[in-house]
């Protein structure tokens, strides 16, 4: 008997109107695609019945690129033209990649200015182009399975991906011909899968350790609302690092320095290390067989205890963001109800043991860790494309780092604080600094420190055609908007004329994970120092404003309303303020400003009286009272 699907009026599309949408988990090691069919989430398989697509692309001089399993076979025989773990490079600037080059067995095109490109037999290729090839393969799989063109996709990204990495992911999707409805944070996608499948409510930690990225997010689930309380992580940490440590151990055992420089043998060793790691999930020991360049076969035995010791530093490194996310959420470990384990690298037994020991809580592992992110993305895609009511779920995600602009004195005015729920729009009013100012330069920055020099620059743009007014009279509204994908746009407008300018922030570089981690540590370690620095900068800006105003007034009316002694006293006090403002004592500058203000009160009063007399000349007081 066929089942009837019953919905409230207006809550469901007609059968002929069902729109095709999928969720894509674009992973470092493997990728996959899922969809919702008849209310049930299905991971889509290839022609051989496999759900995973290895995130590997083999570029050939003659012929189309090979993607997935065929490329995986070429990784040993043609390593320089076979690109894996491209997700680690996406959204990063050439200068940022230099720190990773020892870990990446590729030749880079040094002429690439901002976007790093790997030299292949088919020409230089960026991580964006590699990701586009993977997304194209998943798109073809989905359209073949669903029998039509896709109306939209949701692509998951690590929660700790910065603006540049998210933009680069969207660019890759555009190259693949995909309509991206949303970039969804991977931990949130996992929470969607578990929350809707089990009806869970409470506070959960989502521990997501993939092949090349790590995220931890603290979420509150309540009646269909997914609220991210805090997020932390490292977008260059994962199973690849475990493989590298095991491979280094193998090379040390072989004891041949020449082999460590052989790119072909290095790829073979990394592949063997990964296979050994996977084998030790179910076995206490495993044999590693390697073909040496001289044709001999080398067999090495690796047991689980030895491997656990080798990879312990990687696992320990994931616990630091766990501590920080708890602190940012204002929670203790006891407040967490359970831990959701996500990502293929969480299959490693010592990962589970250490996470369970750290939180002392139940681990959720009953959904395939390789598939749970794609499942959540598919559910979200089904809602966004219109097949289900948007009332079914509310996502409240957050941004990882504060956003603001530079103000006078090299200080940062934070517009949107880190861990603010997105999508979010915040605005703040600013004003001009000098008389007759007709333009304002707006410098957008990202970070937690008080001074611009300690934060990361994102973009600069200008608001022009401001009407010339006295300093402080103009009202400039600066608005920040972070959309559901975590992407930023900034606008500025002047209230009296309505003149406006706008920029979509698309930096050509990405924040490295070390920079993000350092930003957060510095914001704590230098909190008191930053407060003093900001106080000093504020007093220096105020001193300059007072001096400019007084100099302007003296130039116009100094000889008219002051005798020589009074004028000399004012100039002396002003020179003393200038001298102090070049120093580092904020309190001394503040006292000098107050002294100068008191000394100039009689000058200001005389100018005011003269102005009033001028206005009233030829008029009766009764005219003004009427």
Q: List residues with catalytic annotation.
A: 25, 87, 186, 208
Contacts of the segment 36-42: beta carbons below 8 A, 24+ positions apart: 36/378, 36/379, 36/381, 36/382, 36/387, 36/388, 38/5, 39/5, 41/193, 41/375, 41/378, 41/379, 42/378
Contacts of the segment 240-243: beta carbons below 8 A, 24+ positions apart: 240/28, 240/29, 240/85, 240/88, 240/211, 240/212, 241/314, 242/277, 242/310, 242/311, 242/314, 242/345, 242/348, 243/270, 243/273, 243/274, 243/277
Among 293, 291, 257, 295, which residue's Cα sits nearest to residue 272? 291
Contacts of the segment 558-567: beta carbons below 8 A, 24+ positions apart: 560/610, 561/603, 561/606, 561/607, 561/610, 562/603, 566/602, 566/603
For 33, the token pair is 């695609």
Query: Do the beta carbons of residue 240 and residue 211 sit within 8 Å?
Result: yes
R_g of the chain, CA atoms, integer Å: 31
Q: CA angle, 208 as apex, 205 and 210 as ends, to 5°?
A: 175
52: exposed, middle or buried (Cβ count in 10 Å: 0-12, 13-18, 19+): buried
223: exposed, middle or buried (Cβ count in 10 Å: 0-12, 13-18, 19+): exposed
391: exposed, middle or buried (Cβ count in 10 Å: 0-12, 13-18, 19+): exposed
What is the Cα–Cα distance from 471 to 127, expressed in whole angstroms? 48
Backbone phi and psi for residue 384, each to the nearest 5 degrees, phi listed first:
-65, -30
């Amino acid at each position: 008997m066929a089942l009837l699907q019953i919905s409230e009026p207006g809550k469901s599309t007609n059968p002929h109107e069902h729109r095709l949408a999928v969720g894509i988990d674009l992973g470092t090691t493997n990728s996959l695609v899922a969809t919702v069919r008849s209310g049930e989430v299905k991971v889509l398989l290839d022609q051989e019945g496999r759900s995973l697509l290895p995130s590997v692309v083999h570029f050939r001089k003659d012929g189309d690129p090979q993607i997935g399993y065929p490329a995986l076979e070429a990784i040993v025989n043609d390593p320089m033209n076979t690109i894996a773990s491209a997700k680690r490079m996406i959204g990063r600037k050439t200068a940022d990649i230099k720190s990773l080059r020892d870990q990446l067995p590729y030749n880079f095109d040094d002429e690439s200015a901002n976007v790093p490109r790997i030299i292949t037999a088919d020409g230089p290729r960026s991580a964006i182009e590699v990701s586009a090839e993977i997304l194209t393969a998943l798109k073809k799989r989905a359209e073949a399975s669903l029998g039509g063109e896709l109306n939209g996709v949701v692509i998951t990204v690590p929660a700790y991906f910065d603006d540049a990495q998210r933009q680069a992911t969207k660019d890759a999707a555009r190259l693949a011909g995909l309509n991206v409805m949303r970039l969804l944070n991977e931990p949130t996608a996992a929470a969607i899968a578990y929350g809707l499948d089990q009806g869970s409510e409470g506070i959960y930690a989502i521990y997501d350790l993939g092949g090349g990225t790590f995220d931890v997010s603290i979420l509150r689930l309540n009646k269909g609302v997914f609220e991210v309380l805090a997020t932390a992580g490292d977008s260059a940490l994962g199973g690849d690092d475990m493989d590298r440590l095991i491979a280094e151990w193998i090379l040390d055992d072989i004891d041949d320095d020449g082999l460590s420089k052989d790119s072909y043998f290095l790829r073979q060793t990394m592949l063997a290390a990964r296979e050994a790691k996977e084998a030790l999930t179910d076995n206490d020991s495993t044999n590693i067989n390697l073909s040496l360049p001289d044709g001999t076969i080398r067999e090495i035995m690796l047991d689980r205890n030895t491997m656990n010791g080798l990879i312990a530093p990687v696992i320990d490194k994931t616990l630091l963001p766990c501590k920080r996310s708890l602190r940012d959420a204002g929670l203790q470990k006891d407040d967490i109800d359970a831990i959701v384990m996500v990502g293929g690298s969480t299959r490693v037994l010592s990962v589970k043991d250490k996470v369970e020991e750290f939180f002392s809580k139940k681990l959720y592992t009953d959904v395939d860790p390789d598939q749970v992110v794609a499942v959540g993305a598919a559910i979200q895609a089904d809602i966004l494309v219109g097949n289900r009511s948007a009332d079914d779920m509310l996502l409240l995600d957050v941004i990882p780092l504060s956003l603001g602009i530079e103000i006078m004195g090299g200080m940062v005015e934070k517009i949107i604080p880190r861990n603010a729920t997105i999508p979010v729009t915040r605005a703040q009013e600013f004003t001009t600094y000098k008389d007759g100012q007709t333009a304002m330069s707006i410098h957008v920055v990202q970070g937690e420190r008080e001074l611009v020099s300690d934060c990361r620059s994102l973009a600069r743009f200008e608001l022009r055609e401001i009407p010339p007014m006295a300093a402080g009279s103009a009202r400039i509204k600066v608005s920040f908007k972070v959309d559901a994908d975590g992407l930023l746009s900034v606008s500025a407008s002047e209230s009296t004329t309505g003149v406006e300018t706008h920029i979509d922030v698309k930096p050509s570089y990405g924040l490295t994970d070390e920079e993000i981690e350092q930003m957060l540590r510095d914001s704590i370690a230098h909190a008191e120092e930053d407060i003093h620095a900001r106080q000093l900068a504020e007093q220096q800006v105020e001193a300059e404003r007072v001096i400019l105003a007084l100099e302007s007034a003296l130039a116009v009316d100094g000889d008219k309303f002051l005798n020589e002694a009074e004028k000399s006293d004012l100039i002396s006090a002003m020179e003393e303020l200038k001298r102090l403002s070049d120093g580092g004592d904020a309190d001394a500058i503040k006292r000098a400003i107050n002294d100068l203000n008191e000394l100039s009160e009689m000058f200001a009063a005389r100018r005011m009286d003269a102005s009033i007399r001028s206005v009233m000349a030829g008029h009766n007081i009764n005219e003004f009272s009427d």
